[in-house]
């Protein structure tokens, strides 16, 4: 039992360190997911591309039709570029976002379980409810 508690504590410490290291900005996380999904970083070379880029919301991937083709664009106004992918890359991006969300939810559940386990001793276990146990 003690080894299980020690292992769980170790897991929580590692999870907190990973969370702290991964606490990049929301945009940085989206950028990382986009690149992992196959989006390419491009710099607008034509005036119409630059104009289009300036009209897009900076905090989300937006569907854009350009020259008759569908693209998904995550603008990076600060660096005057955009992360651009097609439908396949966007589908991969959505899957990565879902996997990341599930991972975060699992981490939160583990943290809550750890907190509950840590508080169990303050109640005195089963015997903490009015004596050495329920008789």
Q: What is the pTM of this model?
A: 0.61
For 32-44, the pLDDT digits (tens) are 999 999 999 999 9
Residue entry with tokens 């970083």: 41
The alpha carbon dihedral of 91, 93, 96, 100 has a sign of negative
Q: Tell which residue, 107, 117, 120, 116, has the closest CA to residue 20.
A: 107
Least confident of 9-13, 46-50, 71-75, 95-99: 9-13
Asked whether the beta carbons of 96 and 89 are under 8 A apart, the reply is no
Residue 60 confidence (pLDDT) above 80: yes
**Percent of the chain residues topping a pLDDT of 90:** 39
The residue-averaged pLDDT of 73-87 equals 93
In sequence order, the 6+-apart residues with CB closer than 8 A to the CB of 47 are: none
Length of the chain: 135
Pick 109 or 34 by higher pLDDT: 34
Reply yes or no on whether the pLDDT at 78 is more than 60.
yes
Mean of pLDDT over the chain: 79
Do 39 and 83 form a contact (C-beta atoms < 8 A)?
yes
């Amino acid at each position: 039992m003690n080894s299980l508690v020690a292992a769980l504590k170790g897991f929580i410490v590692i999870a907190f360190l990973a969370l702290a290291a991964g606490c990049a900005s929301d945009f940085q996380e989206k950028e990382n997911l986009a690149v992992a999904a196959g989006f390419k970083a491009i710099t607008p070379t034509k005036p119409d591309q630059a104009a289009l880029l300036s009209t897009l919301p900076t905090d989300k991937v937006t569907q854009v039709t350009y020259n008759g083709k569908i693209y998904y664009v995550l603008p990076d106004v600060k660096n005057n570029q955009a992360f651009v992918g097609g439908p396949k890359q966007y589908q991969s991006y959505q899957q990565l976002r879902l996997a990341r969300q599930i991972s975060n939810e699992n981490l939160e559940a583990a943290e809550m379980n750890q907190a509950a386990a840590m508080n169990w001793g303050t109640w005195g276990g089963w015997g903490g409810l009015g004596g050495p146990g329920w008789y």
